[in-house]
Each structure stands twice: as C-alpha cells, then as structure tokens.
Amino acid sequence: MTELRRIFNYFTNNLDRISGYTLEHLILIVIAIALSVGLWVSLGILLRNNKKTADSVLGLGSFIMSVPSVAIYGILISIPGLGLSRQSAVIALVLYSMLPILRNVYVSLNEVDKSILEAARGMGMSERQILRKVQLPLALPVILAGVRVATVMMVGIATLAVYIGERNLGVLIEQGLKRSRSDMIIVGALLVTVFVLVIDFGIGWLEKTVVPKGIQSDEESKTKAKAGGEI
C-alpha cells in the first residue's frame, strides 16, 4: 500500500513535467509515423512489380530490425549534421518501421486476386487507375495492420531516445534507474503501456472507419478460413 501511495504521489506531484514528457513523446511518434507512411508506402508501390529489387530492400529492412536500437542511435549521432538531436531519433524510428510497413504494402498489393485485375483492365482502366481504385482499397486493411505494428513498436523504441537528447517518457525510466526510484520507473512504464494501448486502439478504430465494410468482411472471412485450416 505504501508503494502504491508513493507512485500516486509522484504522479500527482509531477503532473506538469509528466504531461510535458508525454507531449514530446507524442510529437516524436507523430513525426516519425507520418514520414514512415509517406516513404515506405510509396516505396512499396514502386516495388510492387519488381520482385528481385523488393526482396533486396526487404532483406535490408530485416537487417535493420536485427540491429539493437541503441546501436542505431549510436551510429546516427556519429553522422555529421545529426548528432544528439531529434533528427537522429526520427530517422532511427523511420528505419525501424521500414520492414512492417513496406512488407505489408508489397505483399498486399501482390495478393490482390488476378481475376479482379484482369476484369479492371477489361473495363479499360489504366494501370494507375487499377492501383488507385482497385489494388490500394483492397490492400488497405493489410497496409494499416503494418502501420499499426510499426507505430506500437515506435512507442517503445522512442523511450531509448533519451540517450541522444530526447526528453520524453523514457526520462522517467532512465532517471528512475539512475536514482533507484521504483516509483519513477513504474510511472514511466505504465504511461508507455497506456500510450501503446491508446495508439493501438486508435489505429484499430481508424481501420474500421476508413476500410469499406465489404473489404472488412472479406478479410475476416480469410482470417477465419486460415484459422480453420490450422486446427
């Protein structure tokens, strides 16, 4: 009970500071995910018909994912012009989001039923029209799933950006470890967890809002069919 009181007291007594850290964390994530979606969705579209190049780029994404985030931050701050800055933190997050977003874009666009594409061509649609009106709408649920994974992952990785100058929720955990303050560590960890849950729920809501009902039903049917086949 005493520990819970300490945690509650720390949270209430430092609410302004914690609010500031939360806002900085949010700003970093918003910047990084906006750049990631713009960059990796565009690249996935460009690579959709080039398997050899796509495999090479996805291999690079897998390699980046295998490198510890602290090492990525360390490499970036050693690059002239970056150093201990928000730019380094944003670039690191964008690099880590490469694989889940790019892979989902590439795979989903190439998994659109060929008969649907042929029917669209038969109607006189150009390749650009087919991409915009057929492939992207059908691939949207899978693309959003990749964005969802990348964003949730970013929230956790962003906490380590405190070591390169960011002042976000990671400060509570880092300072708590330095001072052996369990209340700071627990508050920081709980807030990051809540952050993840809110973002995950928000993107899930966005997916249900922007994806047409017919496509949602089709995706659910595919998921149930796969689950039935695995039993």
| Domain locations along the chain | 2-225
- pLDDT tens, position by position, 217-231: 455 444 333 333 443
Decide: residue 183, CB within 10 A, 0-12 exposed, 13-18 middle, 19+ buried. Answer: buried
Q: CA–CA separation, 204 vs 221, rounded Å?
A: 18
- pLDDT per residue, tens digit, the chain (231 aa), is 577 888 888 888 899 999 999 999 999 999 999 999 999 999 999 998 888 999 999 999 999 988 888 888 888 888 888 888 889 999 999 999 999 999 999 999 988 888 888 888 888 888 888 888 888 888 888 899 999 999 999 998 999 888 888 889 999 999 998 888 888 999 999 999 998 999 888 888 887 887 766 555 455 444 333 333 443
DSSP letters, 45-100, are HHHTT-HHHHHHHHHHHHHHHHS-HHHHHHHHHTSTTTSSSHHHHHHHHHHHTHHH
- Contact between 28 and 167 under an 8 Å Cβ cutoff? The reply is no
In a 13 Å sphere around the CA of 115, the CA atoms on its Cβ side amount to: 0
What is the fold, at CATH topology level, of the domain defined by 2-225?
A: MetI-like fold (1.10.3720)
Distance between CA atoms of residues 28 and 195, nearest Å: 13
